[in-house]
A and B are shown apart, each in its own frame.
Chain A
Amino acid sequence: MEKVILHGRGVISGVVEGEALVCPHSITGWGGINPSNGVITDWDNPNKGRTIKDTILVMPGSKGSNGWSCYFGAVRATGCAPRGWMFTEIDSSAGVASAVMQIPTIVDFAPGEDPCQWIENGDYVRMDGSTGIVEVTKGK
């Protein structure tokens, strides 16, 4: 199995692993997720219908309404949060959501190591929120 190592800035510690769910255009704020089960409802999202629960969620950053973090906070409250997540480049909405979620978080990836480019749905990912190292095993 091909392995890829990516380097970001670890901002919330913890080591987790699981299947990747990659949203290259992020998830729209306010209503983009059903908080009761973590299923993406965003009307033009290629991952519409998939749940973020127990995944390693990969996004470039946030998108849309300032009501972005609250939907992830609600997902946390129902126990449907991802195991960990990463953002190509941190932004303020993603920063608030991370402070709320308190799950292992890696942000600000090195040039040429954009996780949205290197990781695909179904890849197996191990991430360390302390060191910022992401280990990707390609394919299932």
Chain B
Amino acid sequence: MKLTKEEQAMLDGGQGRLVQIAIENVIRYAEVLGASELCKITKATVFCGAHCYLDVYKSEDFHEVFTHMNMARDETVPFDRTCPDCYIQSCVAACDQFEFEPLHQSKEFFEKNAYYVDEARKAGVIVTGSCSPYLTGWIPVRGEHFVTTESGMTILGNSLWGACCNADGIEAAFWSAICGRTPKWGYHVQENRHGTHLIHLDAKLESVTEWELLGKAMGMKLPATMSTPVLVGDFEDVDFVKLKSFFTTLAVTTNCRLCHIVGITPEAATGEMAFAGHEIQGEITITQQDIDAAYEELCDKPEGTVELVSLGCPHYDINQIKKVAEYMRGKKVHPGVDFMVWTVYPVKAMADLNGYTRIIEEAGGHIYTSTCPTTIGADLLKHYPNQVYDSLKQSVSVRSHDLRQNVYYTDPYRAMEAALTGRWKEEYRWKK
């Protein structure tokens, strides 16, 4: 491993044990990948909070849990610093920023989560609580190296902004945020960012839902590993919301982390530019039939009552919340239905300012921040046998919990209709 003087000093313990472990782990990671050097990162999102997977380690001491689980070491070292040159903010936590009872969580757990988040804040992490860090201005530019715990952000940053990131993971994001380094490998190396597979889009995509389904349809046809698709087609009406939703879906249904879109993304002004002289390894056509088929396996069929309707994955921006408020104005959520809208705290503050929160609350709904149903997990989901989502990611993730009867996935307006009637009806299924 070729290390700079600064990296060697970190490895020798010159910046303390925490930094030493962090860079040791990054080097271990680099060796598994086959990388021979590291690169500096300047932005990071990290996964703070008392997340459910941490439950397996029994201790009241956050720092003991942190070292064993996130640093993968059988010792306790305080998590008390992060790289000063890096802009680091928190991804979703295990609780809303302020509320716990409506989400079926105990005060004790809420306080534990707050303790975990606050210790990260003391170490230098900006408490944000979002899977969509761009909503608060965390935006890496072309060529900038970053790490993130959010898979949709990985692919969005690589593809739409031309910044450089791999899908590392929860632990490695902490290691990088502490020592400021990641393996120089994969999409951190310019020569590796070329396309591998040409995807012809033979369908006219109009709604956000259709863009989400495109991600799933591509996931069903792409190879299991290491593809960089290049998408060509008619993208006349594309916007940022459609793209963030598409990238999120593609990320959860494949291990793809960069997708060039010809004419849209910066490294793909043309197909030739996207492939950069490399051979096309495979050609795939996605038709309307593929989009329809992708939907079918994600939405259960039985009609019946629903208890949860959830909008906002990735976290909604203020314009998406405005549209919800406009639709729900003067209407009433059916008794027995919890209608939840998810975003990040500053966007919620804007929704308060603009009166959208009041309209949604008067309708019987609520805006939550800092987390989402699948991140909270069983404590929330077990209360709702029949759940409706406007997000493909949520509807896929909650299916692994054997706690529900039906999971329905549709567009936001049909989802809101389900909240208003308290039922899932055949007419709410998404259709072209």
Chain A residues close to B by CB (< 8 Å): 9, 11-12, 24-26, 28-32, 35-36, 41-44, 60-71, 73-74, 76-78, 88-93, 95-100, 102, 105, 107-108, 116
Contact = CB atoms under 8 A, between A and B. Distances in A.
A51 to B, nearest CB: 15
A92 B171 contact: no
Given A69-B171, A73-B72, A91-B167, 9 more contacts: A26-B224, A35-B53, A65-B151, A66-B251, A70-B53, A90-B33, A96-B29, A99-B32, A99-B172
Contact of A88 (B29, B33, B225): B225
Interface residues of B, number: 51
Given A25-B224, A26-B224, A95-B32, A78 B151 contact: no
B69 interface: yes
A30 B54 CA distance: 12
A95 B29 contact: yes
Given A12-B32, A70-B53, A95-B32, A43 B170 contact: no
Nearest to A100: B72
A44 B253 CA distance: 11
B40 interface: no
Contacts of A66: 148-151, 154, 167-170, 173, 251
B255 A35 contact: no
B28 interface: yes
B252 interface: yes
Contact of A93 (B150, B168, B224): B168
Contacts of A35: 53, 55-56
Contact of B255 (A71, A91, A98, A99): A91
A77 B68 contact: yes
13 contacts: A25-B224, A42-B400, A61-B224, A63-B254, A65-B151, A67-B53, A69-B169, A70-B169, A74-B57, A88-B225, A92-B185, A96-B29, A100-B72
B166 interface: yes
Listed residue (A62, A74, A100, A108) with the most chain B CB atoms within 10 angstroms of its CB: A100
Contacts, number: 156
A101 to B, nearest CB: 8
A66 B115 CA distance: 24
Q: Which 5 A-B pairs have the closest CB atoms?
A: A69-B169, A92-B166, A61-B225, A43-B399, A96-B169
> Which of A69, A70, A95, A116 has the most CB atoms of chain B within a 10 A radius of its CB?
A95
Nearest to B185: A92
A64 B151 contact: yes
Contacts of A36: 56
A41 B172 contact: no
B143 interface: no
Interface in B25-66: 25, 28-29, 31-34, 47, 51, 53-57
Contacts of A108: 34
Interface string B391-405: 000001101111000
Contacts of A28: 252, 396, 400
Nearest to B257: A92
Interface in B56-112: 56-57, 68-69, 72
B130 interface: no
Contact of A100 (B171, B253, B297, B400): B171
